[in-house]
């Protein structure tokens, strides 16, 4: 049971935010575990003990060893694929393609890309026409 010192997080105190489930340090562990139980459009109230929230350290607005409650609405999600099954290459499909199947080793491809840091800053981009190469190269 939560004490009177427990914190409540709801739509009154937050704007719409995007989360990456399992992204270490983005939110508390318990919320990752809770969100994966939800369905699109569902609104739930999750009560988390200190050990699955901010623990003994707390934060600027949550005291140490305090249970918290999150009111969460699951609006939508984008499926993320672990390409190598080791956490090394992560793929998020932003816009579905038209052709059936991926290119083969002998195919020539034309790509455009932007390289961004986690804070969103762009550090590299292809020329406007893109870059061509053979997949096997």
Mean pLDDT, rounded, for 121-129: 88
Tell me 109's DSSP state.
Answer: E
pLDDT digits (tens, 9 = 90+) for 108-122: 888 898 888 888 888
**36: Cα within 13 Å, side-chain hemisphere:** 8
For residue 110, how many other CB atoms are within 10 A of its CB?
A: 10
- pTM equals 0.52
CA 63 from centre of chain: 26
- What span, in angstroms and rounded, lies between the C-alpha atoms of 2 and 48? 9
């Amino acid at each position: 049971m939560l004490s009177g010192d427990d914190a409540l997080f709801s739509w009154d105190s937050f704007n719409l935010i995007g989360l990456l489930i399992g992204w270490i340090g983005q939110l508390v562990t318990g919320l990752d575990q809770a969100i994966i139980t939800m369905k699109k459009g569902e609104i739930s109230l999750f009560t988390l003990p200190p050990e699955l929230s901010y623990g003994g350290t707390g934060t600027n607005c949550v005291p140490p060893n305090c249970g918290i409650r999150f009111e969460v609405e699951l609006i939508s999600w984008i499926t993320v694929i672990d390409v190598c099954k080791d956490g090394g290459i992560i793929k998020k499909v932003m816009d579905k393609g038209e052709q059936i199947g991926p290119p083969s080793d002998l195919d020539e491809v034309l790509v455009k890309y932007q390289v961004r840091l986690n804070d969103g800053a762009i550090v590299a981009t292809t020329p406007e026409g893109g870059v061509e190469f053979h997949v096997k190269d």
